[in-house]
Amino acid sequence: MKKTKCAVIGCGSIAQVHGAVLGAMEDVEIVAFADILPQRAQQMAEKYGGRAYSSLDEVLEKEHPEIVHLCTPHYLHTPMAQTCAQKGVHVFTEKPPVISWEQWADFQALQDKVRVGVCFQNRYNRSVELFRQLLAEGSVGKLLGARAFVTWRRDAPYYTESGWRGKLSTEGGGALINQSIHTLDLLTQFFGTASGVEASLCNRHLKGITEVEDTLEAAIDFGGRQALFYATTNHCADAPVLLELVCENCTLRMEEEEVALRWADGTVEHRTLPPTGSLAVGKSYWGNSHGLCIRDFYRCVRDGEPFRNDIPHVADTMELMLKIYDCAR
Beta-bridged to residue 253, according to DSSP, are: 244, 260
**Backbone φ and ψ of 140, nearest 5°:** -80, -10
Q: Cα dist. 64→117, 251, 297 in Å?
A: 19, 50, 19
| Domain at 4-120, CATH from 3.40.50.720, 3.30.1360.170, 3.20.20.100, 2.40.30.110 | 3.40.50.720
Residue 277 has pLDDT above 70, yes or no: no
Domain 122-284+311-328, CATH = 3.30.360.10
Instruction: Give the pLDDT confidence of 201-258 residue by residue, as tens digits.
Output: 999 999 999 999 999 999 999 999 999 999 999 999 999 999 999 999 999 999 988 9
What is the pLDDT averaged over residues 149-159? 97
Q: Which of 272, 239, 268, 231 is nearest to 252 (CA)?
A: 268
For residues 276 and 321, the model is more confident at 321
Q: What's the distance, CA 84 to chain centroid? A: 20
Q: What share of the chain is helix, strand, coil (3-state, %, to 5)?
A: 40, 25, 35
In the chain, the N- to C-terminal Cα span, in Å, equals 52
Q: How many residues does the chain have?
A: 329
pLDDT at 272: 78
Cis peptide before 65 (omega within 30 of 0): no
Domain ranges of the chain: 4-120, 122-284+311-328
Whether 146 contacts 187, CB under 8 Å: yes
Instruction: Give the pLDDT confidence of 160-217 residue by residue, as tens digits.
Output: 999 999 999 999 999 999 999 999 999 999 999 999 999 999 999 999 999 999 999 9
Q: Which of 93, 129, 147, 11 is nearest to 309 (CA)?
A: 93
Q: What's the distance, CA 256 to chain centroid? A: 15
Domain pair 4-120 / 122-284+311-328, same fold? no
Q: Cα dist. 103→37, 58, 84, 302, 328 in Å?
A: 26, 24, 15, 28, 19
